[in-house]
Structure 1
Amino acid sequence: MNFVFLLTGLTLVFVIGWLISSDRKHIRFVSIAKLFGLQIIISFVCLHTSGGINALKGISSFFNWLMIQAAGGVNFVFGGLMIKPGGSVFFLNVLMPIVFISALVGILNYIKVLPFIIKWTGWALNKVSGMGELESYFAVSTAILGQPEVFLTVKDQIPKLTEQRLYTICASAMSAVSAAMLASYMKMVPGKYVVVAVFLNILSALIISCIVNPYEPEKDDELVKVTKGNDEPFFQVLGTYIVDGFQLAITVGAMLIGFIALVTFLNNTFLAVVNISFTDLIGYVFAPIAFLMGVPAQDIVKVGGIMAMKLITNEFAAMGTLQGVASELTTKSNAILSAYLVSFANFGTIGIITGSIKSISAEQGAFVAKFSMKLLVGATLASVLTGTIVGVYF
């Protein structure tokens, strides 16, 4: 049955991608096959071999250890706050550690560890997929640096990009998540799904671009070097990353307050008017998609509702909802949904990406705004593809 649902999930992704494709006659099947094969290898090693499973456990343990270290700074600043016994404050325990992780990313970027990893991983990915050097570089770098910072690493190239290439890098930005967020995600969903999803999403975004936005990569690219902050004093760079991390945590917190309050309002309103909650209603809309991905029939409405919530709000709000119902779902449903949620594919991210590109080039920002809905659908399809592949192993 797992193989059957792999086929149904892939068919769903391809059909929708084909329907919105800008050039159906030139879909890049060879690149798709190579990237999908790489996804199968990665997912098999990570989820179906003892070495891969132990490696994922080690990575998860490392990020949990980082969260403990982050608690030192959080407790120093907020330790005087009274929290009821056994209680937990989401802002302090999940969001504030982003500040510490962001500082670590800044240090690794400054000493050129991240630029080295990004450059050569992007080079290897391009050799396998033939997607283009800039596209492959960006797909890897956005999974480490996040947005909007990652756009600054290619700011000289952005004004020169064609509309097709611009779509590809924006799709990668929406489908990936930044390293600074991983530890916080692991506080809400199992770490192994977070790590696997990070790897698979890099490739899923490129696969979707091969369907939705096919084109032949330019041959004269040079791999871009990440130069942000390297010519500035160390503590200035460190301070910038710390402040950026704090602003990110505040922004996420504000978005959660607004979105979750809005969903609560809609749920109560719909219950009073039509005797069905808003989340249950959208759950029925997304239930067929969940079923085709391999979610067991008894879970498809709940899973569909959380999938839709992630699209409408953000991944943190959806993960919070998943935490509350995880015990009611099967292991397979938890695996598929957890992997699906690890991306920035939501309405709010469109504004971030459009604003980031527009700040660099007003003309290119207008292009991004024009294909924003196609961008959102493509990034969502990438998440569906990642969730479908993960579900094969449960």
Structure 2
Amino acid sequence: MTPLQLQSGAGLLALCLLAWALGGFRRVSWRIVVAGLGLQLLIAVLLLNVPPLRAGFALFGDGVNALAAATRQGTSLVFGYLGGAPLPFDEKTPGSSFILFFQALPLVLVVGALSALLYHWRVLPFVVHALSRLLRRAFGIDGATGFATAANVFVGMVEAPLLVRHWIASLSRSGLFVVMTAGLATISGNMLVVYALFIAPVVPDAAGQLLTASLISAPAAVLVALLMIPPEAEAVAPEREPETPRIYDSAMEAVVRGTMDGLQLLLGIMAMLIVFVALVALVNMALEPLTGVTLQRLAAFLFWPLAHAMGVPAEHAMTVANSLGVKVVVNEFVSFLELGMSGGLGLDPRSRLILTYALCGFTNFGSVGIMLGGMVAMCPERRADIVRLGLPALVSGTIACCMTGAVVGLLTAP
């Protein structure tokens, strides 16, 4: 094992200690720590080192490429050369014809429809139930918490709690915090496909890597959340796993409603990108003349120790920290876009892979606002708890994502 891999291993333990310290060093069962670290390593070893599973992820990547090509057929018809059809003029600057909204983001519509169809056909519920059972047996968490955590691997931070909305009011404070942390530490299937498209030129098997990262982050999120807010012995929680509700009456309804849900997400992404990039630019306009640094640069200094803990070499630690800072201050969308369009930010392949895994989560201020709004609307009687746990969930989700980066760093030789 190389020194950098040992650095990742030590960093993984240090991240656990950080989460425990932020929770006030309260008593935590060793079962939680062993289960959390063991599950992360087991999932990573199986998905990264077992050839048949790696081959399956390669096929998943081919499927993402097929979805992108099929979507381009539709955008070319609707938007012409703006959507990827042949240009009617000579391109002056290579790559300048790429328009994010018309060529990459419409993939959200196709994936939204396909996800709804897979849900209607009970494919996604089957996978979610299997992962939920694994989490409940490993950590001893209740059925609703395990189910929502497992669902977060495939759907967004609002859609997953929606599946257990009837149980949210009865969740313990610890269970509620687990659900919120998992929502921020993972990404939805819609965005996974888009991000894989962005980073495919610089990260091999990009789609499979992102799915692996999201799967590893599920037990990481449970571990970090329970270290920060341990379960209370007297808490009463529902043990029975919730049934997955029937949402669509037919496959055609699933396609139509999935497309409309995807349209709302598409417009939301567009609006959030415009607003948050503009707000950060305004802050930088005021901050940089006074201090000489930007908001992202300040965040990078805070994230440097986390980049080091993940096992990133010293010469690349600040670059990785800066990308993590952009993720939290703006969002992960911009970080993934920069990673793909810059040729990998000048990072070596191992550091690039660690960064990819650490970026795979909705840990940013905008996502916290979206999650709080959605969960308060679902369960207004828990409003105080939900709002109070918002920023701690951002911290715990960030630690969980970095823990996932440390796991892949531990298992990847330079």
- Per the normalisation by structure 1, the TM-score is 0.91
Which amino acid is the alignment partner of residue 208 of structure 1?
V
Q: Could you say which residue in structure 1 is the equivalent of 2:78?
A: 77
For residues 215-268 of structure 1, give each alpha carbon's deviation from its aligned partner in whole angstroms, at most 9, with x where no partner exists.
1585752111221514x4543343222111111111112212222334445556
Q: Deviations over 1:268-296 (max 9, x none)?
A: 65554444444334322321221121111
Which residue number corresponds to residue 162 of structure 1? 172
8 Å Cα contact 2:216/2:404 also seen in 1: yes
SS state at 1:382 partner? helix
Cα distance in 1 between the residues matched to 2:209 and 2:129: 25
Kindly provide the amino acid, as one letter, of the partner of residue 180 in structure 1.
N
Give matches, 1:180-195, under 5 Å: 180-189=190-199, 190=203, 191=206, 192-195=208-211
State the 1:157 CA deviation: 0.8
Checking the alignment, whether the CA contact within 8 Å between 1:132 and 1:218 is kept in structure 2 is no
Match of 1:116 in 2: 126
Give the counterpart of 1:350 among 365, 368, 374.
368
Q: Let me know the Cα RMSD of the aligned residues.
A: 2.3
C-alpha separation between the residues in 2 aligned to 1:298 and 1:325?
A: 17
Deviation, 1:347, is 0.9
Offset at 1:2? 3.3
User: In structure 2, what is the Cα distance between the partners aligned to 1:321 and 1:305?
Assistant: 11
Matching of residue 304 in structure 1 with residue 321 in structure 2: yes
User: Partners in 2 of 1:88 and 1:201 — Cα distance?
Assistant: 32
1:360 aligns with 2:382: no
- Shift, 1:116, TM fit: 2.0
1:224–1:61 Cα change, 3 Å: same
Matched, 1:211 2:227: yes
The residue number in structure 2 matching 1:6 is 8
Aligned partner of 1:101 in structure 2 is 111
Residue 330 in structure 1 maps to residue 313 in structure 2: no
The 1:311/1:327 distance shift into structure 2, 3 A limit, reads: closer
CA contact (8 A) 1:204 1:382 kept: yes
CA distance 1:285–1:74, change in 2 (3 Å): same
What is the distance in 2 between the residues matched to 1:42 and 1:160? 31
CA deviation profile, 1:39-85 (whole Å, cap 9, x unmatched): 21221233334334333322212212122122232222222538674
Give the one of 283, 301, 308 matched to 1:291.
308
Q: Gapped runs of 5+ residues in structure 2?
A: none
Which position in structure 2 is the counterpart of 1:147? 157
More off after superposition, 377-386 vs 317-326: 317-326
In structure 1, the gaps of 5 or more residues are none
| 1:200 Cα offset (Å) | 0.6
Contact 2:184/2:367, CA 8 A, preserved across alignment: yes
Are the aligned partners of 1:32 and 1:210 in contact in 2 as well (CA < 8 Å)? no
Q: How many residue pairs align between the two structures?
A: 392
TM-superposed deviation, 1:102: 0.5
Task: Note if contact 2:144-2:238 (Cα within 8 Å) is conserved in structure 1.
Answer: no
Summarize the alignment of residues 128-277 of structure 1 with structure 2, pairs less than 5 Å apart.
Answer: 128-189=138-199, 190=203, 191=206, 192-215=208-231, 220-230=238-248, 232-267=249-284, 272-277=289-294
Tell me, in whole angstroms, the C-alpha distance in 1 between the residues paired with 2:394 and 2:302: 17
CA-to-partner distance for each residue in 1:22-45, whole Å, 9 max, x for gaps? 6x4431321221231122122123
2:53 is aligned with 1:63:
no
User: CA separation in 1, counterparts of 2:215 and 2:250?
Assistant: 33
**C-alpha deviation, 1:104, in angstroms:** 0.6
The TM-score, its normalising length taken from structure 2, stands at 0.87
List per-residue Cα deviations over 1:106-154 (Å, max 9, x = no partner). 1111122222221233123322332232222111112112232222211
- Distance in 1 (CA, whole Å) between partners of 2:80 and 2:263 is 17
Change (3 A) 1:358 1:328: same
Which is worse superposed, 211-220 or 362-371? 211-220
The whole-number CA distance in structure 1 between the counterparts of 2:162 and 2:345 is 42
SS of the equivalent of 2:165 reads: coil
Amino acid corresponding to residue 10 of structure 1 in structure 2: L
Q: Distance in 1 between matches of 2:123 and 2:55?
A: 25
Q: Is the Cα contact below 8 Å between 1:201 and 1:386 reproduced in 2?
A: yes
Aligned mates of 1:274, 1:167 — CA distance in 2: 36
- Offset at residue 88 of structure 1 (A): 0.9
Question: Structure 1: how far apart are the matches of 2:286 and 2:107?
Answer: 35
